[in-house]
Structure 1
Amino acid sequence: MRPSTSTSEAGAPLLSGLTAGPDVDALVDDRALLRAMLDVEAALTGAVADCGLAPTSAAAAVAAACADPSRLDLGDLAAGTLRAGNPVVPLMRALEAAVEPAARAWVHPGATSQDVLDTALVLLVARASRPLVGAARAAGVATARLADAHRDTVCVGRTLGQQASPTVFGLTAAGWLGQLDTALARWLLVADRLPAQLGGAVGTRAFYGTDGEAVAARFAQRLGLSAGPPWHTDRQPVLDIAAGLGALVAACGKVATDVLLLAQTEVGEVAEASGGGSSAMPHKQNPVASVLVVAAARRSPALVGSLFGSAVHEQQRATGAWHAEWEPLLDLVRLAVGTCRRTADLLEGLEVFGDRMAAHLDDGGGVLMAEAVAARLTPALGRGDAHAKVAQLVADIGAGDFAAALRKDQTVLDALGENGIEAALDPRGWLGSAPALIDAALARHDELAAR
């Protein structure tokens, strides 16, 4: 049987779908990049014509040549890219061949390859931002719903992997919501000022004479991007993108990590709506969505780090650092969109088992309330002695009944009395500001949703 040759990399589609999906891949694939570069070339000649530096007929001819990417052969462009070191040079040659002689002088006017490729990559980021923001907002809506619905669902709070003190699941969800919303707000700031790049050979815009600022402004306007000075060796815009995308993936990773821990068999406080099976164990329903989000969160820092590590560019144009950005940037965009979508799906279908949460509150016969007991003993014993007293009781009983030990201890009984012990052992009496914190997170979410 002859193997399939429908993809350039055998087996790649089997894995790529785990990160995102065909529609997300299409946002940043070679065809999308070609489309973006053509849009940039058309906008560039159009901007030069807008400023009276090129014939409008030439701008129309270049725009027509850029209108249909299918006229260009990706294989030929790829071969030219290997020779030139970037895809803009072979694209420029192809466009020159596609227009009449009178318009050829106005293909790629006054720009350098970096202007076109940097702007095209930013354009891809801008185009991917809409589904990215949509997915992040969907994740936030689902999380806000969980926070509100479970504001009274008391559960065990865990620190350093151990039971600590009581909390409510609504506050856990509010914590997720805060991270998602903070990351989204940061990304919206980045997306709102994504810049076009236009500097010419060494960043002076010399080709346009004294009209460089006007040409750059029209160029950016045509593409829906921000205008500003050239950033050939000032890679802060790339770092903003990297940090913004990485923060979104990290926020999703926090959600998925908590879900994985709470969904463990021995805990069983939450479950994904549908899990994946095991090739060996018939009984397993693995939390696949959470696993894949955590996998993305593990991959993201390397991509962010690669972009930060490539940010020092020498003099007016870099030798290699610029080239090192292209693939990690597109990989990070794809990862971020796919991860936010998967997190939204995970949260929308998350099952929460309040009865299991309530059962775990009684583990250790009330030992979860040790902090509350020590706090109530402090006025009578002093903070240090109260803490030591409770710690000794916990050590003495081992896996025994903490509540019974308190009632048998005369010092505790004298200080608190039966009613005081009862109150100290009530998890609902030790929730502090949890309701206010949930309300604050929901209010911030509503404010962000209105933007």
Structure 2
Amino acid sequence: MASDQPFGAAPAGAAGPLDEGWAAGPLDAGLLSPVRAGTAAEALTGDAAWARALLDAEAALARAQARAGIVPPGAANAITTAARLARPDVADLARRARGAGNPVVPLVADLRDLAGDAGRHVHRGATSQDIMDTAAMLVAARARREIVGTLDRVLLLLAGLAERYRDTPMAGRTLSRQALPTTFGLKAAQWLLGCLDGRDRLASVALPVQLGGAVGTLAAYGADGPDVADVFAAELGLDRAVLPWHTRRAPVAELGTALALVTGALGKIATDVTLLAQSEVDEVAEPAGPGRGGSSAMPHKRNPALATLVRSAALQVPAQVQVLLAAQAAAHERPAGEWHAEWQPLRECLRLAGGAAETAAELLDGLEVRPDRMRAHLDDLLGLLGGHDAGADIRAAGALVDRALVRYRKNSP
């Protein structure tokens, strides 16, 4: 009989290093990563979300095995109920994970206790990496849905800027110096296509289920193994895997690369906004808000706080992806460290990309564009050029913006 009681409770009297009463809350609330603090992506990738994904994977595996006649349907139902009602203490689970090197081993032990008589069917034929990799893909799928939805909002805002300022002239800048005329609409169109490329790449990355057993042969399921794996994927809404990918880590590397492209495109916007918002330029400004952009030492300043947060994410994600790329050099049929090294960098990539997208949407939604300042700077440039025909330089800019908008509308959901 399944129980609704929590499992894995911390031992009485256990205390952390900051147990003075004021340091309440999760161990990592984003204090050092405000770009993702309080965002949907953070909630979807936290410890509780990972524990939930592990439990969902175990329950789905039992249901897939029941459909193949490997375990009784009643046992699969009991395991599903136990997994749904379980509320693991993630801090305790993390400590207990040190014994086996991953959290699946202690979680399976607790789930078996909760499932009662059906417990002997929990995790049947699977290895810890099957459940951990599948949970990673499940967390990624849930976070990706949110990130892509936020990127769609970013794209809509960018398309609006490109269309609204299609013919607004400004000084183009190369190597940070004024060069020749361009339009703000064309700048926004470049932002639009960068984010569209990143969004489409992220949306198209395959997120396959993992099921291979001890050495990737599906030995416990006999000839029905591939079918069980396919049903397992269907139960979770993940992609089918042609083969188990225990030491073929391309799915994780490709996901990380796509997230780097997303944050890179958002970081490009943030960099341009930061430069255009400089006091000496003042061609755009971030949306005003209580407490936003303030300086602790200089109250007269209005800092580009949102752009700074987005840039912070864009600078971090490529470094995290380096670990994911290095982890592809895994040995034989089971990684010894490579697989484990992926977990935190992958989570950071998802968190940072989601936080950057949400912050960029906030930035763009209230971006103040100042065509008069753009015109004034352009006039200064034209004065230096002496009789230069600005109209000739930007004659095609509007048509280029239109082309970008056509592609966006063709690809938009």
Query: TM-score, normalising length from structure 2?
Result: 0.91
- Equivalent-residue separation in structure 2 for 1:9 and 1:291 (angstroms): 24
Change (3 A) 1:267 1:336: same
For 1:335, the equivalent position in structure 2 comes to: 352
- Equivalent-residue separation in structure 1 for 2:128 and 2:178 (angstroms): 58
Does residue 1:321 correspond to 2:338, yes or no?
yes
Q: Which has the higher helix share?
A: 1
For 1:257, the equivalent position in structure 2 comes to: 271
1:41-190 alignment to 2 at 5 Å? 41-70=58-87, 72-101=88-117, 103-190=118-205
- Equivalent-residue separation in structure 2 for 1:214 and 1:246 (angstroms): 34
Identity rate, percent: 47
Change (3 A) 1:2 1:51: closer
CA displacement at 1:80 relative to structure 2: 1.7
- Equivalent-residue separation in structure 2 for 1:76 and 1:348 (angstroms): 42
CA displacement at 1:131 relative to structure 2: 1.3
CA displacement at 1:239 relative to structure 2: 1.0
CA displacement at 1:57 relative to structure 2: 1.3
- Equivalent-residue separation in structure 2 for 1:173 and 1:335 (angstroms): 23
Q: Secondary structure at the match of 2:171?
A: strand
The counterpart of 2:300, out of the listed 261, 283, 291, is 283
Q: Secondary structure at the match of 1:305?
A: helix
CA displacement at 1:146 relative to structure 2: 0.5
Does residue 1:194 correspond to 2:218, yes or no?
no
For 1:358, the equivalent position in structure 2 comes to: 375
- Equivalent-residue separation in structure 2 for 1:110 and 1:267 (angstroms): 64
Q: Which moves more between the two structures, 425-434 or 91-100? A: 425-434
For 2:5, the equivalent position in structure 1 comes to: none
**1:350-391 CA distance string (max 9 Å, x none):** 1111111111112255334xxxxxxxxxxxxxxxxxxxxxxx
CA contact (8 A) 1:20 1:334 kept: no
CA contact (8 A) 1:128 1:333 kept: yes
For 2:47, the equivalent position in structure 1 comes to: 30
1:289-300 alignment to 2 at 5 Å? 289-300=306-317
- Equivalent-residue separation in structure 2 for 1:365 and 1:314 (angstroms): 62
For 2:319, the equivalent position in structure 1 comes to: 302
4+ runs of 1 displaced by more than 4 Å? none
CA displacement at 1:8 relative to structure 2: 5.0
- Equivalent-residue separation in structure 1 for 2:229 and 2:265 (angstroms): 36
CA displacement at 1:206 relative to structure 2: 0.6
Letter in 2 for 1:113: S
CA contact (8 A) 2:324 2:342 kept: yes
Unaligned runs of at least 5 residues, structure 2: 1-18
For 1:413, the equivalent position in structure 2 comes to: none
Change (3 A) 1:434 1:318: same
Does residue 1:239 correspond to 2:253, yes or no?
yes
Q: Secondary structure at the match of 2:126?
A: coil
**1:219-267 CA distance string (max 9 Å, x none):** 0000000112111011110011101111100000000000011111111
- Equivalent-residue separation in structure 1 for 2:91 and 2:345 (angstroms): 22
CA contact (8 A) 1:20 1:337 kept: no
- Equivalent-residue separation in structure 2 for 1:241 and 1:281 (angstroms): 41
The counterpart of 2:406, out of the listed 443, 446, 449, is 443
CA displacement at 1:69 relative to structure 2: 2.6
Q: Aligned residues, how many?
A: 391
Q: Secondary structure at the match of 1:362?
A: helix
Larger CA Rg, structure 1 vs 2 = 1
- Equivalent-residue separation in structure 2 for 1:23 and 1:432 (angstroms): 43
CA contact (8 A) 2:134 2:210 kept: yes
| CA root-mean-square deviation | 1.6
Q: Which moves more between the two structures, 41-50 or 55-64? A: 55-64
Q: Secondary structure at the match of 1:366?
A: helix
CA contact (8 A) 1:260 1:291 kept: yes
Letter in 1 for 2:116: E
CA displacement at 1:128 relative to structure 2: 0.8
Query: TM-score, normalising length from structure 1?
Result: 0.84
CA contact (8 A) 2:40 2:146 kept: no
Does residue 1:209 correspond to 2:172, yes or no?
no
- Equivalent-residue separation in structure 2 for 1:9 and 1:341 (angstroms): 23
Does residue 1:19 correspond to 2:33, yes or no?
no
Letter in 1 for 2:134: T
1:332-411 alignment to 2 at 5 Å? 332-364=349-381, 366-368=383-385, 402-403=386-387
Q: Secondary structure at the match of 1:84?
A: coil
Greater relative contact order: 1 or 2 (C-alpha under 8 angstroms, separation 6 or more)? 2
CA displacement at 1:277 relative to structure 2: 1.2
CA contact (8 A) 2:295 2:302 kept: yes
CA contact (8 A) 1:195 1:225 kept: yes
Q: Secondary structure at the match of 2:98?
A: helix
Letter in 1 for 2:278: Q
CA displacement at 1:99 relative to structure 2: 2.2
**1:391-447 CA distance string (max 9 Å, x none):** xxxxxxxxxxx34xxxxxxxxxxxxxxxxxxxxx23112214212210111011111
Change (3 A) 1:2 1:60: closer
For 2:24, the equivalent position in structure 1 comes to: 6
- Equivalent-residue separation in structure 1 for 2:294 and 2:198 (angstroms): 33
CA contact (8 A) 2:215 2:333 kept: yes
Letter in 2 for 1:62: I
Q: Secondary structure at the match of 1:290?
A: helix
- Equivalent-residue separation in structure 2 for 1:76 and 1:144 (angstroms): 48
- Equivalent-residue separation in structure 2 for 1:109 and 1:69 (angstroms): 19
- Equivalent-residue separation in structure 2 for 1:9 and 1:223 (angstroms): 29
